[in-house]
Amino acid sequence: MKDKVELLLPAGNIEKLDYAINYGADAVYMGMVDFSLRSMRKGEIITADNLKKAIDLAHSYGKKAYMTLNIYAYDEDINNLYKNIEIIKDANPDALIVSDFGILNVLRSKLPDIDIHISTQTNTLNSEAVKFWRDFGATRVILARELSIKQLSEIRKNVPDIELEVFVHGAQCVSLSGRCLLSDYMTHGERKANHGGCSQPCRWKYKLLEETRPGEYYEIEETARGTHILSTKDLALINYLPQLIDAGADSFKIEGRTKSLYYVSAVAKAYRHAIDSYYKGEKTDEEENFKELLKIGNRGYTTGFYLDEQDHEGYSYDVSKGLAGADFLFEVWDKISKHDVNLYKIKIKNKIMLNDFVEIITPDEIFNTQILKIYSIDFTEEKNVGNTNDEIWVEFSKEPENHKYALARTIGIKNLR
């Protein structure tokens, strides 16, 4: 097993892969169109044409890249997999994440030299199941999220010779380890949850219909908090990492291949800091750790099943959409010196104003600064505002030591739940 636990981040596209690694990931996982449980829409989406480029980028940093092939496959999917075998082999991922026996059988036959990681979708809950996957040739099992830390420790004791991966952060759905048919049923098979197209019906708002009163719909309420009765809070175990490490976890997985660049970067930074503090023997500030996560989109946080006492407040009845405690304001793209002043080219995500105070985060820093000047992209106009999607130049009162990968957000925490 590993000397140090791995921090594993999602790579929804190549840009997010780059940021995830620079903000602290030891490894990334990515899906290729047609074989992944998450359908990507934005950025340089990972396809057969650029899979090797994505994995080579991770390897250039000395990090690992895992490829998800974790759909539950029909025969047409298996045929498609055969067509892509040489592309996957040439891309050389460090491991393949699999849940379907048919896909696993193909990979063992055609790509025997690539490690196999067993997906959480297999609902692995006990030591005998882990032994089965080990004996089947897997090098790692991604355990079900329904396990407690105590049960993780028991599995590690019983099966010491395989890597164990656990989820520590991110969205959860109302199903056993992600295996759900709600989306399939409610979209008449058009968006299959186990085929990369989940429409997230557990986030929808529901009403009650009494059969003798057609057309009369009633709110389903949990006290006064609302009607999102299936929407779970997000998992957050940042303050329980030492217990998970001591229990025998080899890899900490963050959920979120469809989440924003800011989400991936900020979560990676927070968990990287917490992990490094543990290994340095430093006392961590649990309140500050948690505050960092509150600045990221969430539906409220829960510890799920991991503690001895299950979190019975683990549902977000009042809201289904993740709300961030801080607004993502802009990405920093470039730097030039003009008239003895450093100016930074930024891409606006949310409107900013001249003289605003913002918080800058980079892989190495977090600090507050003020926007002293705003210029149009061609420097022909001095401005008072930068609007969403604008590309502009700004002057900061305090500058990042290294602007590459720098992001900005609002100061403080709002939407506190």
What CATH number has the domain bearing residue 355?
Answer: 2.40.30.10
The CB-side HSE value for 370 (13 A sphere, CA atoms) comes to 4
- Residues linked to residue 117 through DSSP beta bridges, in sequence order: 97, 140
Instruction: Please check whether residues 266 and 401 belong to one and the same domain.
Output: no
Is 398 a domain residue?
yes
Nearest to 331 by CA among 371, 297, 362: 362
25 near 8, Cβ under 8 Å? Answer: yes
Tens digit of each residue's pLDDT (9 = 90 or more) over 180-235: 666 666 677 677 666 666 766 666 676 666 667 777 766 655 544 445 556 678 89
In whole angstroms, give the CA distance from residue 19 to residue 26.
12
Is 34 a domain residue?
yes
Is 51 a domain residue?
yes
Is 385 a domain residue?
yes
- Residues linked to residue 394 through DSSP beta bridges, in sequence order: 344, 374
pTM for this predicted structure? 0.86
Tens digit of each residue's pLDDT (9 = 90 or more) over 338-356: 889 999 999 999 999 999 9
Q: What is the pLDDT, as a whole number, of residue 317? A: 47
Instruction: Please check whether residues 101 and 56 belong to one and the same domain.
Output: yes
Band of pLDDT at residue 19, cut at 50, 70 and 90: very high
DSSP 8-state class, residue 195: G
Instruction: Please check whether residues 17 and 104 belong to one and the same domain.
Output: yes
218 burial (CB, 10 Å; 0-12 / 13-18 / 19+) is exposed
Instruction: Please check whether residues 359 and 402 belong to one and the same domain.
Output: yes
Instruction: Please check whether residues 43 and 165 belong to one and the same domain.
Output: yes
232 near 305, Cβ under 8 Å? Answer: no
Is 323 a domain residue?
no
69 near 48, Cβ under 8 Å? Answer: no
Domain that residue 126 falls in: 6-176+231-302
Neighbours of 236 (CB within 10 A): 24
Backbone angles phi, psi at 201, to 5 degrees: -65, -20
Instruction: Please check whether residues 293 and 332 belong to one and the same domain.
Output: no
Is 212 a domain residue?
no
Instruction: Please check whether residues 281 and 365 belong to one and the same domain.
Output: no
Domain boundary at 302, 319, 346, which? 302
Q: Does the pLDDT at position 3 exceed 50?
A: yes
Instruction: Please check whether residues 162 and 273 belong to one and the same domain.
Output: yes
Tens digit of each residue's pLDDT (9 = 90 or more) over 62-118: 999 999 998 889 999 999 999 999 999 999 999 999 999 999 999 999 999 999 999
Instruction: Please check whether residues 120 and 250 belong to one and the same domain.
Output: yes
97 near 70, Cβ under 8 Å? Answer: yes
Instruction: Please check whether residues 279 and 405 belong to one and the same domain.
Output: no
Tokens of 57: 């980028």
What long-range pairs does 307-310 form, CB within 8 A, spacing at least 24?
307/148, 307/149, 307/240, 308/148, 308/150
- Which residues 6+ apart lie within 8 Å of 411 measured at CB? 326, 357, 358, 359, 368
State the alpha helices, DSSP H only, in 286-345: 286-294
Return the biggest CA–CA distance within the chain: 77
Instruction: Please check whether residues 164 and 250 belong to one and the same domain.
Output: yes
Q: What is the pLDDT, as a whole number, of residue 213? A: 74
Q: Are strands 207-209 and 217-219 parallel, antiparallel or unpaired?
A: antiparallel
Is 296 a domain residue?
yes
Q: What is the pLDDT, as a whole number, of residue 225? A: 47
The enclosing domain of 16 has a CATH number of 3.20.20.70
- Residues linked to residue 369 through DSSP beta bridges, in sequence order: 358
Domain boundary at 265, 286, 302, which? 302
Could you give the 3-state DSSP secondary structure of residue 377?
A: coil
Average pLDDT over residues 253-265: 90
Number of domains in the chain: 2
Q: Please state the separation of Cα 80 from the chain's center in Å.
A: 27
Is 200 a domain residue?
no
Instruction: Please check whether residues 24 and 167 belong to one and the same domain.
Output: yes
Backbone angles phi, psi at 154, to 5 degrees: -65, -40
